[in-house]
Every structure is written in structure tokens, then in C-alpha cells.
Amino acid sequence: MSNGSSEYALQMVHIEKYFGLVCALKDINIQVGRNEIVGLIGDNGAGKSTFVKILTGVHRPTSGELYVAGRKVDLRTYSVRRAHGYGIETVYQDKSLGEKQVLWRNFFIGRQITLPFGFINVKKEKAVAQEIMMNTIGFRGRGITVDSKVNKLSGGERQGVAIGRAMHFEAELIVLDEPTVALSLKEVNKVINFVHKIKEGGKACVYISHSIADVYEVSDRFIIMDRGEIVGDIKKEDTSLKDLDAFLLEYSHGLRDQKE
């Protein structure tokens, strides 16, 4: 255990990221509780995806500190693989799932259950995949089994599989970057339900979006970003969808700049 308090799934302290001379993230300080759903919102270019990439080990920050479940992350050696080790899982739009793979195989990419001599334990993997589908993500048949190909699933169902996988492997923190872009309304509802399950399962989630309409219902708190900075940190009980919308609109229209 290091300095960071383990009441938080995530702490970022003074995180900055420059791409050359461009400052994509400026002095980012964030805490996410162990069982908290945080909606990270902001217009295009706000720095949301850069935030995700630092958190998931894709990019190294220029400076700052990162703590996951109270453990200080060594940023010099941090990587996507290490992020998994710290219990951070991300669900990317579409590309998170192998298209032509059958579902059960997909659950175990990079972490196969093996028998002695290193053979993959197919029977066990199928049984676990079935368990995840029924209990974690609540698939109710309609022709989809663990032997179905991923490309037969709807966008919302794919998100569900990825979320189920993250939940099964005991992620401390599940990061969703714009998971509902390109989904139908019905599928958006599925993703919303999956996030409810993350909350019920006692886990934490950072749900990133450029629109608050789909994050409002599931989030406990909202962090608003604008051009690389956090400009608002608001608990759901202290705001309404309408007020939050108005706040965001001021930024997207640059009205805040005019006031300064």
C-alpha cells in the first residue's frame, strides 16, 4: 500500500499531458470512489480520450501521479497489460471484440484456463462463458449461445459482452469511452442497464460521453472537461439534467470565455 487512500478506485493527482506543444490535459485531479459511477463529459477535443488512454496505459502522462485502489502506479513501466493487472478494464466501441470469434473464446483472450500440459480447458471455458452471459450480463437466449459468432451480435450486445467480461475478471474500474455512439435507442438502454449492473456489482465506472442524455441516469457524479481542464465536478443530487445541460452549453458555445 502506498500513499493513496484505498477508499478510491482511482485517484489522479496533477496529471498533465502534452503532445509536443499542445496541452491535452492540464492539472487533472480526479477521485473515483470504489462503488461510484462517474460521468465524464465534455465537447469534442476536451481531452476525454486522452484521459482514458493515460488511465489504461496507452499514453504516458508528461507529469503527475496515478493511484488505483490505493496502489501507486509506476508510470514509467505502466502499459495496457499492467492496467489489466491493476484491475482496469476498458470497453472500446466495436474493436473490443474479435469479430469472427465465437463468444466463449472471446471471454478468455489473453487469460486462458489451461489444463496440465497447457491445453486450453474448453469445457471449463464454455461453462464460465455461459455463467457470465446468464448472470453477469443477463442474456436471455433468443438464439445467442456461447458458440455464436461475435459478428452476429448487435452493437449493444457486444458492449454487454465486453462489460460482462470486465465484471467477471473483477475489474476495480470499468472505463467506457463513448459506448453508445452508433447504437440504436434500444441498444443504448441495454448499455445503461449494464452500467446499472456495474453499480450493483459493487464496482466503479467512468462513463465518458459528449452528451449527458445517456450518462445522466446512471451516474452518481459528473466531471465536466473543457479544453484539457476540469471545469465542473457536480454530484447528481446537486443538479438536474436541465441545469447540467445549460452548464455544458455555455462551454460548447464559448459563453464562459466571453464572461471572463
Ligand X SMILES: Nc1ncnc2c1ncn2[C@@H]1O[C@H](COP(=O)(O)OP(=O)(O)O)[C@@H](O)[C@H]1O
Task: Answer with the entry of ligand X, Mg ion, none that 19 interacts with (C-beta below 5 to 8 A by kind).
Answer: ligand X
Told to check if 184 binds ligand X by CB under 6 A, we report no
Question: Which region, judged by CB under 6 A, interacts with ligand X, from 43-51, 137-145, 161-169, 187-195?
Answer: 43-51
14 by DSSP, 3-state: which? strand
Query: What is the grid cell recorded at 246?
Result: 445549460
Told to check if 258 binds ligand X by CB under 6 A, we report no
The Cα 21–Cα 23 span in angstroms is 6
Q: Which residues are registered as beta bridge partners of 40?
A: 208, 223
Told to check if 211 binds Mg ion by CB under 5 A, we report no
Question: Which region, judged by CB under 6 A, interacts with ligand X, from 1-9, 42-50, 85-93, 163-171?
Answer: 42-50
Tell me the C-alpha to C-alpha distance, in Å, between residue 207 and each of 40, 111, 210.
Answer: 6, 25, 10
Taking alpha carbons only, the member of 255, 259, 250, 247 closest to residue 39 is 247
Shortest spacing between CB 80 and ligand X, in angstroms: 15
**Pattern 50-69, ligand X, x by CB under 6 A:** x-------------------
Q: Which residues are registered as beta bridge partners of 173?
A: 88, 204
Binding site for Mg ion (CB under 5 A): 48-49
Binding site for ligand X (CB under 6 A): 19, 22, 24, 42, 44-50
